[in-house]
Amino acid sequence: MKHLTEKLQQITKRFGILGMVLALAGAIGIPTTAFAVAAANNPTPMQEQKADDDEKVDAQQAATVKITQDQAAEIAISDNEGATLIGVELEKDNGKPVYAVDLKTAEGNAIEVTVDAMSGDILGTDTNPEGDNKDENDENDAEEADDAATLAGKAELTADQANEIALSANPGATIIKTVLGEENGNIIYEVKIETKEGKSSEVKVDAKNGSVLPEENDNDDNDGEND
């Protein structure tokens, strides 16, 4: 028994809890297929992080794209007459840089159009981007699209211009995602970037005058609470 306990501890340390369960199940004759299926359907946080990393576009690859975010949005909208832009994100699909363009169709449905970041070709359209949560999120997507359309009418800068400003303030960074929003009554672009050091950051650019808004310091809130 002591030997078995030590063995299970070694397996757990090396392969995690699931490895220990599989080893124990095999030892007592329980089929491990069900456990394997469960593991595939329930990835660990480390596996999920790896999947996220696999979808990220590195700085070198981002520098080679031929299509801008604005162009990708125009391509997606032109293929879906009457659609409204929700957001655009640069990511990887099978190792290639693509834009995931989220739209609200004229019928009010949420879709995601994948645009090749090199050629501008439409690679596909996902009519159910929310998966099983589609019905729950359709209303939110519709509201986001309406808000985005309203804000876009007030913005004087394009997303590409905001991206250029964010990059000029952060040399060597890579644009991950750009979203038009509102903060304290101001129309702003929230530009998510990855710095050359590999850290995630967000740059807020005034959509009217192009100024970069100062970063919020978490200590500011704490100072206010301690006053």
Nearest to 166, CA basis, from 196, 198, 205, 200: 205
pLDDT tier at 145, thresholds 50, 70, 90: low
**pTM (2 d.p.):** 0.59
* Model pLDDT for residues 16-33, shown as the tens digit of each residue: 554 544 555 555 554 544
Among the ranges given (92-96, 132-136, 196-200), the one the predictor scored with the smallest mean pLDDT = 132-136
Using the 3D structure, point to which of 103, 137, 171 is the last residue of a domain. 137
Q: Is residue 77 part of a domain?
A: yes
Nearest to 178, CA basis, from 164, 198, 196, 168: 164
Residue 38 is part of which domain span? 2-42
Name the domain count of the chain: 3
- Residues 99, 126 within the same domain: yes
Nearest to 92, CA basis, from 145, 53, 136, 39: 53
Q: Is residue 175 part of a domain?
A: yes
Q: What is the mean pLDDT of residues 175-195?
A: 89
Confidence (pLDDT) at 49: 43
pLDDT tier at 62, thresholds 50, 70, 90: confident
Length of the chain: 227
User: What are the tokens at 53?
Assistant: 């990393």
86 burial type by CB count under 10 A (0-12 exposed, 13-18 middle, 19+ buried): buried
Confidence (pLDDT) at 131: 65
Ramachandran category for residue 204: left, alpha or beta (phi over 0 → left; psi -120 to 50 → alpha)? beta
Among the ranges given (76-90, 100-114, 132-146, 208-222), the one the predictor scored with the smallest mean pLDDT = 132-146
Which carries the bigger pLDDT value, residue 16 or residue 106? 106
- Residues 124, 67 within the same domain: yes
**Contacts (Cβ under 8 Å, ≥6 apart) of 36:** 22
